[in-house]
Amino acid sequence: MDKDRITGTAKDLAGKVEGAAGNLAGDAGMQASGRAREAAGVVQNLYGQAKDAAREAGEAAASYARDAVENSGDTIQSGTRAVARTVRDYPLGSVLIAGGIGFALAVMMTRPARRAPPRWRYYG
């Protein structure tokens, strides 16, 4: 728990007490001061809650990243095994797919560059 939350709750409570005392005494200045202190306490409490939430989100993100780094080798190895098993089970299909991908890459890489249209024509 953040210290801003504790301080904010204390200010909120003090503002409520001061406002109630102002009501009993009939003092409008004391009532307004109590309301202002209460509002400041609520704002500080919300600020502390936001800091706590941000800290928890950062810790969760770091934990997820740590888990991803630790398990990345396992994921790559299992993917490699799955591809190897598929190639072993369907060799002809694998060769055809690899050939199709190679052909598509060759077509994209050997396509002539697009020329800009002429700006003017000479009809001389």
Handedness of CA 40, 43, 46, 48 (dihedral sign): negative
Average pLDDT, the chain: 85
Under 8 Å between Cβ of 9 and 42 = no
User: Domain for residue 119, yes or no?
Assistant: no
Q: Which two tokens stand for residue 81?
A: 């095994």
Tokens at residue 2, please?
Answer: 């953040």
Number of separate domains in the chain: 1
Does residue 121 sit within a domain?
A: no
Residue 78 lies in a domain: yes
Q: What percent of the chain has pLDDT over 90?
A: 13
Question: Does 120 fall in a domain?
Answer: no
DSSP code at position 117: P
Which of 123 and 105 is assigned the larger pLDDT?
105
Residue 86, in any domain of the structure: yes
Burial (CB count <10 Å: 0-12, 13-18, 19+), residue 34: buried
